[in-house]
C-alpha cells in the first residue's frame, strides 16, 4: 500500500510535540517535526496554562508539516481534567487554570456535603482527587465566580484545541471520563452530579467516541497558514488512554504502567468495576478506546524528579536527567522513603526541601545531595507501584504475571529495574512513545487503514523496541515494602 501520514499532537504537563506517524502497511515510523515547552504561568497567585501559546505551536507545527507531504488527518491528546470556558460568542473567557492551582483545596470534602461520597463514587467510579474537573468547577460555584456565570460552554483541553482548529464544540468520551462528572454506567454527563454541585447544565456538550472525525481545519486557518484542509479526529483525548492503546500486551488480562509526570497503573476491563472495595482503594474507572474501561490508580510520578530538577536549576545546579540518574545509581539504597502522593508534594515549589522536612517529621535520615534525593524518589515510586498493583489485583481477582511499562519514564532504566524488584514481576518496557503511537493508531483505525485494536497492538509491538527487566533482590525489597506500608498508614 501507499504510505499514509497522520499528525499526532501530544501535550504533556511540561512539553508538547507534533509527531508524524508514517504507516506503510506493516510498521509505524515516527518523525518528530516540532517540540516545544508547555510552561504554566502564575498571575496574581493563580496558575494558568498558556493555551494561546499552545495554539501558536500547533500552527507552527502545521506549517512545518508542509515539508513532509500530504497529511491525511490530525489528532490531539492532552493531560486530563483541565478546561476552558467559552462565552455565547465562542470566545475564550480566560486562560485555563492549572490543575495544580490551590483553588480546589478542601473542595472534595466540601462536595460530600452536597453529594455523599459513596453515592458520588457509585455514579462516576472516579478516584477522588482535588484536581478533578468537578472540584475545579465546584470551587468556582462556591466562590460565585463571574466567569462561571458568563460561560456558555466548557471544553476540556483536547476538545478546546480541537475547537480552535475546527469551530466544533464537542467532548470526547475518554477525556470526559476524567472529570468526575461522567456517569460511568449511563456513559453520559451525570445530571445527578451536575445538579448536586449546582453546576450550570448548559456547559456540557455532546459526547463523541474516540476515533470520531469531528471536522476539518477551518478555512480561516487554512488560508492563514497556506495549508490543505485536513480532517481533525477526536482521538482518545486523555493521553493515558492513547498510551493504553499502545500497550504491547499479548494477554487478554494485562496490567500496564504508563509512566511520566504522572504514573498510572491499571488494567483493561469490559465494563466498570465499582463497589465498596474499589471505593476503599480509591480506584478510578475511565472510558478507554473501543468501548473498553481503563481501571487504574493515579500515582504521582516523575513530577517529583522534574520539580526537583527545576529547583536545583534555580540554585545554579544544571544537570540532565541522565546525569541525575547516574548520581542516583551511585547513591546508597533505601536511605529514606516518602509517600509520593502526600499532599505536600502535590504543588509546585521546592520539592527537595519538602522531602527533607518529610524525613524529619517521620524520623528518617534526610538525603544530603541530588543523587540520594532522586534515588529515594525512584525507590518510593516503585514501592507505591507495588501497593497499587496489590490493590488492583485484590479488586479484579486476577494475578498479573508481567507489568507492561510504557511512556517517557521508561528511559530511566533505574526506575524500570526498581519496579521489577519491588513488584517481584518481570517488567516489559516499551514503547517510550506510547501516547503518540496510540494517537496515531486511533487515527489509522478511524480512516480504515487498521482494522481493530488488536491489530493496532500487534502493529505497535512489531514496530518498536521492547526491553525486559527481571526482578532482583526481591527479599530486600520485600523488607522495604513492609516499612513503606507502615510509613503511609
For residues 382 and 345, what is the distance between their CA atoms, to the nearest angstrom? Answer: 17
For 156, the 3-state DSSP assignment is strand
- CA dist list (Å): 128 to 99, 244, 283, 291, 461: 14, 21, 9, 23, 34
C-alpha cell at 415: 526506575
Distant-in-sequence, close-in-space partners of 182: CB < 8 Å, separation ≥ 6? 124, 126, 176, 188, 189, 190, 287
* Active-site choice (239, 290, 342, 369): 239
Domain-located, residue 442: no
Domain-located, residue 440: no
DSSP code at position 177: T
DSSP code at position 401: S
DSSP per position, 287-356: E-GGG-EEEEEEEE-THHHHHHHHHHHHTT----HHHHHHHHHHSPTTS----TT-GGGSSSS-HHHHHH
Averaged pLDDT for residues 135-144:
98
Note if the bond before 479 is cis, omega within 30 degrees. no
Averaged pLDDT for residues 422-434:
96
- The DSSP bridge pattern shows strands 231-234 and 403-406 to be unpaired
Domain-located, residue 445: no
Q: Give which of 378, 371, 309, 298 is closest to 338, Cα–Cα.
A: 378
Same-domain status, 343 and 298: yes
8-46 per-position pLDDT tens digit? 999 998 899 999 999 999 999 999 999 999 999 999 999
Residue 460 · residue 246 · CB < 8 Å: yes
Same-domain status, 178 and 265: no
For 171, the 3-state DSSP assignment is strand
Distant-in-sequence, close-in-space partners of 366: CB < 8 Å, separation ≥ 6? 336, 355, 356, 359, 360
Averaged pLDDT for residues 154-163:
98
Same-domain status, 155 and 199: yes
Same-domain status, 344 and 481: yes
For residues 234 and 262, what is the distance between their CA atoms, to the nearest angstrom? Answer: 23
Q: How confident is the model at residue 204 (pLDDT cuts 50, 70, 90)?
A: very high
Same-domain status, 230 and 252: no
Same-domain status, 174 and 273: no
Domain-located, residue 342: yes
| Angle 237-243-247 from CA coordinates, rounded to 5° | 145
Residue 384 · residue 481 · CB < 8 Å: no
C-alpha cell at 412: 530511566
In the chain the first and final C-alpha atoms are separated, in Å, by 57
Mean pLDDT over all residues of the chain?
A: 96
For residues 103 and 143, what is the distance between their CA atoms, to the nearest angstrom? Answer: 10
342-368 per-position pLDDT tens digit? 989 988 889 999 999 999 999 999 999
pLDDT of 489 strictly over 80: no
- CA dist list (Å): 151 to 83, 92, 135, 137, 281: 12, 9, 17, 11, 35
Question: Of the residues 234, 263, 294, which one is the last residue of a structural domain?
Answer: 234
Query: Which residues constitute the domain of residue 258?
Result: 247-430+451-489
Domain-located, residue 372: yes
Domain-located, residue 225: yes
Residue 264 · residue 242 · CB < 8 Å: no
C-alpha cell at 144: 460565585
For residues 372 and 335, what is the distance between their CA atoms, to the nearest angstrom? Answer: 7
Q: Give which of 153, 160, 290, 162 is closest to 233, Cα–Cα.
A: 162
Domain-located, residue 435: no
Report the domain count for the chain. 2
Averaged pLDDT for residues 286-293:
97
Residue 257 · residue 265 · CB < 8 Å: yes
Q: Give which of 188, 212, 158 is closest to 435, Cα–Cα.
A: 158
DSSP code at position 366: P
**Hunting for cell 493555551 — which residue is that?**
51
In the chain, the largest separation of any two C-alpha atoms, in whole Å, equals 64
Question: Of the residues 234, 266, 286, which one is the last residue of a structural domain?
Answer: 234
**Hunting for cell 482503594 — which residue is that?**
281
Same-domain status, 30 and 111: yes
Same-domain status, 212 and 256: no
pLDDT of 1 strictly over 70: no
CATH code of the domain containing 476: 3.30.420.40
Domain-located, residue 439: no
82 catalytic, yes or no? no
Question: Of the residues 234, 261, 278, which one is the last residue of a structural domain?
Answer: 234
Same-domain status, 119 and 16: yes
Same-domain status, 415 and 272: yes
**Percent of the chain whose predicted confidence (pLDDT) is above 90:** 94
C-alpha cell at 487: 510509613
Q: How confident is the model at residue 416 (pLDDT cuts 50, 70, 90)?
A: very high
Distant-in-sequence, close-in-space partners of 431: CB < 8 Å, separation ≥ 6? 246, 248, 406, 437, 460, 463, 464, 465, 466
pLDDT of 2 strictly over 90: no
Same-domain status, 81 and 197: yes
Distant-in-sequence, close-in-space partners of 352: CB < 8 Å, separation ≥ 6? 308, 311, 312, 367, 370, 373
Same-domain status, 366 and 420: yes
Whole-angstrom Cα Rg for the chain: 22
Which pLDDT belongs to residue 358? 97
Distant-in-sequence, close-in-space partners of 45: CB < 8 Å, separation ≥ 6? none
For residues 403 and 420, what is the distance between their CA atoms, to the nearest angstrom? Answer: 8
Amino acid at each position: 500500500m501507499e504510505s499514509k501520514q497522520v499528525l499526532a499532537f501530544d501535550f504533556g504537563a511540561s512539553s508538547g510535540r507534533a509527531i508524524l506517524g508514517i504507516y506503510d502497511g506493516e510498521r509505524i515510523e515516527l518523525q518528530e517535526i516540532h517540540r516545544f515547552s508547555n510552561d504554566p504561568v502564575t498571575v496574581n497567585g493563580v496558575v494558568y496554562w498558556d493555551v494561546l501559546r499552545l495554539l501558536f505551536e500547533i500552527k507552527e507545527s502545521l506549517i512545518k508539516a508542509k515539508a513532509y507531504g500530504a497529511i491525511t488527518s490530525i489528532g490531539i491528546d492532552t493531560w486530563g481534567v483541565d478546561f476552558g470556558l467559552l462565552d455565547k460568542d465562542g470566545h475564550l473567557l480566560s486562560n485555563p487554570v492549572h490543575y495544580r492551582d490551590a483553588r480546589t483545596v478542601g473542595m472534595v470534602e466540601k462536595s460530600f456535603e452536597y453529594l455523599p461520597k459513596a453515592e458520588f463514587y457509585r455514579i462516576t467510579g472516579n478516584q477522588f482527587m482535588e484536581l478533578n474537573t468537578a472540584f475545579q468547577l465546584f470551587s468556582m460555584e462556591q466562590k460565585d465566580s463571574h466567569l462561571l456565570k458568563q460561560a456558555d460552554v466548557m471544553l476540556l483541553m483536547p476538545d478546546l484545541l480541537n475547537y480552535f482548529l475546527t469551530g466544533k464544540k464537542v467532548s470526547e468520551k475518554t477525556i470526559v471520563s476524567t472529570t468526575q462528572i461522567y456517569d460511568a454506567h449511563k456513559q453520559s454527563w451525570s445530571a445527578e452530579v451536575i445538579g448536586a454541585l449546582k453546576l450550570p447544565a448548559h456547559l456540557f456538550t455532546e459526547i463523541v467516541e474516540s476515533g470520531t472525525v469531528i471536522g476539518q481545519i477551518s478555512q480561516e486557518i487554512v488560508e492563514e497558514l497556506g495549508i490543505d484542509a485536513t480532517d481533525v479526529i477526536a482521538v482518545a483525548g486523555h493521553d493515558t488512554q492513547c498510551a493504553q492503546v499502545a500497550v504491547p500486551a499479548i494477554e487478554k488480562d494485562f496490567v500496564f504502567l504508563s509512566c511520566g509526570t504522572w504514573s498510572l497503573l491499571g488494567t483493561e476491563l469490559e465494563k466498570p468495576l465499582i463497589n465498596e472495595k474499589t471505593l476503599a482503594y480509591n480506584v478510578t474507572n475511565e472510558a478507554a478506546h473501543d468501548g473498553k474501561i481503563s481501571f487504574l490508580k493515579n500515582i504521582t510520578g516523575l513530577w517529583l524528579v522534574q520539580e526537583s530538577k527545576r529547583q536545583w536549576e534555580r540554585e545554579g545546579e544544571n544537570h540532565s536527567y541522565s546525569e541525575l540518574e547516574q548520581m542516583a545509581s551511585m547513591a546508597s539504597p533505601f536511605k529514606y522513603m516518602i509517600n509520593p502522593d502526600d499532599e505536600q508534594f502535590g504543588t509546585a515549589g521546592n520539592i527537595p526541601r519538602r522531602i527533607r522536612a518529610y524525613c524529619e517529621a517521620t524520623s528518617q535520615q534526610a538525603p544530603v545531595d541530588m543523587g540520594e534525593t532522586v534515588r529515594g524518589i525512584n525507590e518510593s515510586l516503585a514501592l507505591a507501584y507495588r501497593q497499587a498493583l496489590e490493590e488492583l489485583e485484590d479488586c479484579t481477582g486476577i494475578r498479573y504475571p508481567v507489568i507492561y511499562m510504557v511512556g517517557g519514564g521508561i528511559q530511566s532504566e533505574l526506575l524500570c529495574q526498581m519496579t521489577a524488584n519491588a513488584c517481584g514481576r518481570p517488567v516489559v518496557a516499551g514503547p517510550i512513545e506510547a501516547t503518540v503511537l496510540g494517537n496515531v493508531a486511533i487515527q489509522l483505525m478511524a480512516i480504515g487503514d487498521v482494522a481493530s485494536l488488536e491489530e493496532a497492538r500487534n502493529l505497535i509491538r512489531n514496530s518498536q523496541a521492547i526491553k525486559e527487566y527481571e526482578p532482583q533482590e526481591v527479599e530486600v525489597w520485600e523488607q522495604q515494602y513492609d516499612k513503606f506500608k507502615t510509613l503511609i498508614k
